Structure 1
């Protein structure tokens, strides 16, 4: 059930050989079926969320809405688990691999569908996207208007999302301010399926769910869903690319050319959607490339593979790449948000730039200020190096972590002199993600080492083990989805919930108020109306807990 099989490297590869596959190799139709199931599961959760009738400006309404989503998720999970149980029986055993594929793919979609469904509830009754016309939301909609008017916009920001927003606005005859809401929900729903399918390049279905989706749940961000999603896509793509590079000496020339074109195009597309992760990843990827390059077995093919990939990447991303390089010495980021005031070695949690009431930050640690979670992640790092230090995955992830770690302190050390942040705290997301992945791969490769023991191999193939793992993952996904979704419910404090509250409190483009605003008896406001701050302060006093909105008995 928990097969550790993946593609076998050629015998001439310096990477240690893998054990014989315990499950059939994936095929195009089955992969397409997984994609369809995962997307359908995410879409179903969004559609079901639209039928949840609650007032999102009432804390009890928010809790009821989250509970309704959990009920729907649980019923779907029970059906999927029943399918796995039925196919575990002897007479249906031939269908068991397909059932596991369907369950794993659906679980990935259900996670992001849960979060997207929570955003649907949080924005119920308003046409604005998260944060209305403020902050990044306002900037993105202004750029979309500029694209509609002129066909282009500022060149030093990745162009894909503003162009998609402009395209959707024109296609549906919807103002970009309102189109942003739909794209935020759809982008959030796509997070799980895209993460799962990206990791299926390297892993079997169950491992793609456990190692590809679970570590990524800390990164989902409905406000700008494309940013962290590109990190989740970039990592497995780079790992697959470097694995292909390592085996280039035993790869036919036709395949070298085809793979170079494909990887260059995919990485170029990721760069156009969000390029920030390329800065943090570049040093580590360079080091990993030098280490994994087939210097003895395929130098010419390796150079050709790199050249083709780089050429296609530059061709796809040139418009943004050239502008970003041109602006690299002049653009200053002076947004000193709360995390820039935090000691720079803390990377155990990424909360975005609107944390809310976090208490002491970083949280008090048990060992010299270092918390148990960080200690466990570092044990995972040590274990990954111990059991699989020659594997492409471990070499690359440790190199990327080390490069991002050094860059983090390089930019952080210049903050005072340059009076600029340069996104230095954003490296937290990539560093944390690398540590979580290395911890997961420590278990993955540790089990591989034990695969030759008959009892271990039998235990890993046990349908009961697979069923237990799936059940636990469904519960983990449900809990993480509910917790993440709750953070985006309307709140009055300086947390992510203020993004949704702004969407209700700011008057719509026609000057009217959102559907549920009247239940607060405060009216709605123009974006620049100073009275909004006073109203939020008053609402904070009425809440049952800091930041929470009160319950309004009898209101619907």
Structure 2
């Protein structure tokens, strides 16, 4: 059930990588395409079903009912999938069991992000605005897209892909960029799971791609700007695949060097154009890992060719933004001192985005010298990964990337006082946390592979019962995580992520009307920068039945 990707253990040392495996089954392109279709379809189905849930999102009881309605639909779909897995596990249908498990894993990835996207759709029901209306980054991105339409140009130091996509869709549909933020946020959020799953299928079998590609990534899903963190989830497996190819360059044909190098360069270039921030944090670790894994004695010419072609293709795709970013690096200062910049800098156990958040004490009180048990377990996972697989490409690369981002975090953080600039230093939290979670997962992955040669252990690990139990647990975890994340974005009047959706309901729409449910709060709606907007938020917070939660209006005879 939990079959592993075909990376054979090194025969001698990291400097002498193994040849590509010859016993692995050939990839079946049509099955991979089927996984992609099923995953995206599952996400789309959850969003479509969410559209049929009719509740008032400015009523806390309506929010809870909406989330429960989503969970009911999710559970019924999961039940059908599990029945399919059980049926195909029977002897009569055993030949179809691998395909059923493969498609179920793909569907699970789509259902999770579709669940979150469905919650966002419910939170924004009745308003044409996306999260945070035309305030903050949402308003800035919309303004840039409109400027691109009007002038044909934009700033070279910001990743251009999202802006160009918004502008292109605006012209294609004759819709103002302001009114495209909502569908783009929902579609981008829905695609998070399928994209994460398919990216990790470059390296892992279906069940492991779900376990190691999607589960650690659920902490990164960010509906407000969905294109940012998903690029981290995609970039990591692409870099791992590139460095694995580099390590094996000496045993690879020239055709196996040139064509993949072009593909890696193009893929990394596109990722860079969508969101380039993660390249900054990853660069030191990737360089060190490449030096460690480079085939110095077995294929230096092929290794050098692989790097050169990959770099050339990357620059060819991204040169304008790349040089714009480098040119602005010494002059642009980020002075957005949001709440996480006030946090002691070693706390990386939770990524809460760079948006408002009610957290209580932050970091939360830790059990061991201020360090929480979650961090302790993650560090045990790091230690275990090194202990059981320190010579593996994946462990070497993730460890180097973590170390490089860790040092850069403190480099930028230490300069905040003198430079009076943040330079996005707290966003390294997302990458550091993701690396720790991946290393913990790969500790289990390589630990399981050590039992491959033990017949009884292999039989237990590949049994249908274990696979079914794992799927049930994963589906329940994804259901709980999806509901919790979705609830964080439900409209609230406190200093939390819920204020993003509340702003969308209280801001006058582009057609001049108020949102459909704004009247239930009795505050009307406001144009941008109207001081009454902030006064209304304070009044709503004071009248809340619980801090920040919107009331449930009762009928007169209730």
Deviations along 1:71-106, one digit per CA (max 9) or x if unpaired, are 000000000010000000001000000000110000
Indicate yes or no: 2:84 matched with 1:83: yes
CA distance in structure 2 between the partners assigned to 1:17 and 1:383 by the alignment: 26
Q: What is the TM-score when the length of structure 1 is the normalising length?
A: 0.98
Contact 1:9–1:17 at 8 Å: present in 2 too?
A: no
Contact 2:19–2:248 at 8 Å: present in 1 too?
A: no
Indicate yes or no: 2:389 matched with 1:388: yes
CA distance in structure 2 between the partners assigned to 1:133 and 1:55 by the alignment: 22
Residue in 1 that maps onto 2:448: 447
> Displacement, 1:353?
2.2
SS of 2:553's partner is coil
CA distance in structure 1 between the partners assigned to 2:50 and 2:84 by the alignment: 24
CA distance in structure 1 between the partners assigned to 2:453 and 2:117 by the alignment: 43
SS of 1:143's partner is helix
CA distance in structure 1 between the partners assigned to 2:326 and 2:297 by the alignment: 34
CA distance in structure 1 between the partners assigned to 2:302 and 2:174 by the alignment: 50
Q: 1:356 to 1:375 in 2, by over 3 A?
A: same
Residue in 2 that maps onto 1:503: 504
Q: Which structure 2 residues correspond to residues 507-518 of structure 1 after superposition, within 5 A? A: 507-518=508-519
SS of 2:450's partner is helix
> Displacement, 1:341?
0.3
> Displacement, 1:151?
1.6
> Displacement, 1:19?
9.1
SS of 1:508's partner is coil
Q: Which structure 2 residues correspond to residues 105-504 of structure 1 after superposition, within 5 A? A: 105-504=106-505
Indicate yes or no: 2:547 matched with 1:546: yes
CA distance in structure 1 between the partners assigned to 2:544 and 2:22 by the alignment: 59
CA distance in structure 1 between the partners assigned to 2:114 and 2:174 by the alignment: 26
> Displacement, 1:356?
2.6
Contact 1:5–1:18 at 8 Å: present in 2 too?
A: no
Deviations along 1:32-53, one digit per CA (max 9) or x if unpaired, are 0000000000000000000000
> Displacement, 1:355?
4.2
Deviations along 1:380-417, one digit per CA (max 9) or x if unpaired, are 00000000000000000000000000000000000000
CA distance in structure 1 between the partners assigned to 2:454 and 2:17 by the alignment: 22
Match of 2:16 among 8, 14, 17: 14
Q: 1:18 to 1:28 in 2, by over 3 A?
A: closer
Q: 1:19 to 1:462 in 2, by over 3 A?
A: farther
Q: 1:518 to 1:26 in 2, by over 3 A?
A: same
Residue in 2 that maps onto 1:100: 101
CA distance in structure 2 between the partners assigned to 1:10 and 1:350 by the alignment: 35
Q: What is the TM-score when the length of structure 2 is the normalising length?
A: 0.97
SS of 2:297's partner is coil
CA distance in structure 1 between the partners assigned to 2:531 and 2:5 by the alignment: 60
Q: Which structure 2 residues correspond to residues 45-64 of structure 1 after superposition, within 5 A? A: 45-64=46-65
CA distance in structure 1 between the partners assigned to 2:232 and 2:5 by the alignment: 25
CA distance in structure 1 between the partners assigned to 2:221 and 2:87 by the alignment: 33
Contact 1:115–1:482 at 8 Å: present in 2 too?
A: yes
Residue in 2 that maps onto 1:530: 531
Contact 1:19–1:448 at 8 Å: present in 2 too?
A: no
Contact 2:246–2:295 at 8 Å: present in 1 too?
A: yes
Structure 2 gap ranges (5+):
none
CA distance in structure 2 between the partners assigned to 1:16 and 1:59 by the alignment: 58
> Displacement, 1:4?
2.2
Deviations along 1:402-454, one digit per CA (max 9) or x if unpaired, are 00000000000000000000000000000000000000000000011121111
CA distance in structure 2 between the partners assigned to 1:312 and 1:505 by the alignment: 47
The worse-fitting range, judged by mean Cα deviation, of 171-180 and 31-40 is 171-180
> Displacement, 1:6?
2.2
> Displacement, 1:3?
1.1
Contact 2:16–2:298 at 8 Å: present in 1 too?
A: no
Residue in 2 that maps onto 1:3: 3
> Displacement, 1:168?
1.0
Contact 1:10–1:250 at 8 Å: present in 2 too?
A: no
> Displacement, 1:554?
4.5
CA distance in structure 1 between the partners assigned to 2:9 and 2:530 by the alignment: 63
CA distance in structure 2 between the partners assigned to 1:6 and 1:96 by the alignment: 20
CA distance in structure 1 between the partners assigned to 2:549 and 2:475 by the alignment: 28
CA distance in structure 1 between the partners assigned to 2:48 and 2:462 by the alignment: 36
SS of 1:450's partner is coil
CA distance in structure 1 between the partners assigned to 2:245 and 2:555 by the alignment: 63
Residue in 2 that maps onto 1:44: 45
> Displacement, 1:17?
8.1
The worse-fitting range, judged by mean Cα deviation, of 111-120 and 8-17 is 8-17
CA distance in structure 1 between the partners assigned to 2:26 and 2:364 by the alignment: 45
What do you get for the CA RMSD once the two structures are aligned? 1.5
CA distance in structure 2 between the partners assigned to 1:20 and 1:531 by the alignment: 69
CA distance in structure 2 between the partners assigned to 1:189 and 1:484 by the alignment: 13
Contact 1:365–1:371 at 8 Å: present in 2 too?
A: yes
Contact 2:335–2:423 at 8 Å: present in 1 too?
A: yes
The worse-fitting range, judged by mean Cα deviation, of 444-453 and 387-396 is 444-453
